[in-house]
Structures are given as structure tokens and as C-alpha cells.
Structure 1
């Protein structure tokens, strides 16, 4: 359970932290920071997932064990992928809520 919580918040932190730091960079370069934060949060979602999983290839190598008949690692790894996706997606939603850019 501790690993699930850690994975969620690492993905969340990569998206939110990257968007906030990118917003500061946009402000310093005289670009609209709120719009930049929203775009960055959307672009950082995949990096949040991969970063939280600790590398993409290790996660998918576990799926190979299904051929051997060992389902437990496969189920655990699929759960971790889903949790990492949720963390990154909720991070993106929080940044969008924070900036509330109107199109």
C-alpha cells in the first residue's frame, strides 16, 4: 500500500511541480504564465507516469511473466500503472483548476 501511495504522489508531483516551475520560467521570459502552466501540465502527464513507475521498460517486463503463468506480478504492475496514470491526471486537473484559463 505504501508503494501505491508513493507512486500516486510522485506522478502528481512531477506534473504539478513541473507546471509550477515552468510557469515561473514563462513569467521570467515574458510569456503568459497561466497558459504555459496549463500546456505544460498536459505535456508532462506522460513523464509523470513514466517517472512514477521508475522507468517504462521495467514495468512492461513484468507483463511478460503472464506467459509463465505467474499472474500476481502482472496484476500488481497493472495496478501501479493505473495509479500512476491517476496521479498524473489528477495533477493535471489540479493545475487546470488553479490557473482557470478561459479559452
Structure 2
């Protein structure tokens, strides 16, 4: 069970880091090109979420194949683990997107 939680946290952190890193660097580029950084950061945070999820789960379709083959073989535990890994990666990207929206709006909620 410990390795499962560790892996979920890793997927969360990878997708969180991809969204945050891309957003921060887009803000830096916006500043260097004399553009407003807040808009660029929000836009990139929104657009890169799916790629953060793909990067976290390994960039291939293999996790989805594992889910399919495990369900077809009536082995539900490995399939559920894969689904939870994907959900964890999605939550990491989602949380980073929300944090970046909040930070780029000056800490004000809209």
C-alpha cells in the first residue's frame, strides 16, 4: 500500500510541476516581450493541463491498455489502481491550474 500512495503522490507532483513550470516560464517570456504576464500564465496553465497528465502517466497509451486488459481478465484491483493514478495526475494539474489562476490574478478570487 505504501508504494501505491508514493506513486500517486509522484503522479500528482509531476503534473503539478509541469503546469506550474510552464506557466511561470510563460510569464517570464511575457515580461521579456513586454506583454502582461498574468494573461499568458493563465492561458498556458489552462492549455497544458492535458499534457501534464500525459507526462505524469508516462506519455504513452499503456496505462489505458492495462486498464482494458485487467478489466477483461476480471482483475479489478490493478485496473482501479491505474484509474486512481490517472485521477491523481489530473488532480495535480487541476490544482496547479487553480493556483496559477489565483496567483496571476493577484490573489483575488473571481
Instruction: Report the TM-score range of the alignment, normalised by the length of the smaller protein.
Output: over 0.9
Q: Distance in 1 between matches of 2:65 and 2:9?
A: 22
Q: After superposition, where does 1:59-98 map in structure 2 within 5 Å?
A: 59-64=63-68, 65-98=70-103
In the alignment, structure 2 segments of 5+ residues that lack a partner are none
Deviation beyond 4 Å, 4+ runs, structure 1: none
**TM norm structure 2:** 0.87
Counterpart of 1:48 in structure 2 is 52
Counterpart-to-counterpart distance in 1, 2:43 and 2:74: 42
Instruction: Give the total of aligned pairs.
Output: 103
Kindly state the Cα deviation for residue 56 of structure 1 after the two structures are TM-superposed. Answer: 3.8
Instruction: Indicate the residue corresponding to 1:25 in structure 2.
Output: 29
- Unpaired runs of 5+ in structure 1? none
CA apart distance, 1:78:
0.4
RMSD: 1.6
Shift of 1:75: 0.3
Structure 1 match to 2:62: 58
Q: Which residue of 2 aligns with 1:36?
A: 40
Per-residue CA deviation, residues 66-102 of structure 1 (Å, 9 max, x unaligned), is 1111111100000011111100000000001101179
Normalising by structure 1, we get a TM-score of 0.93
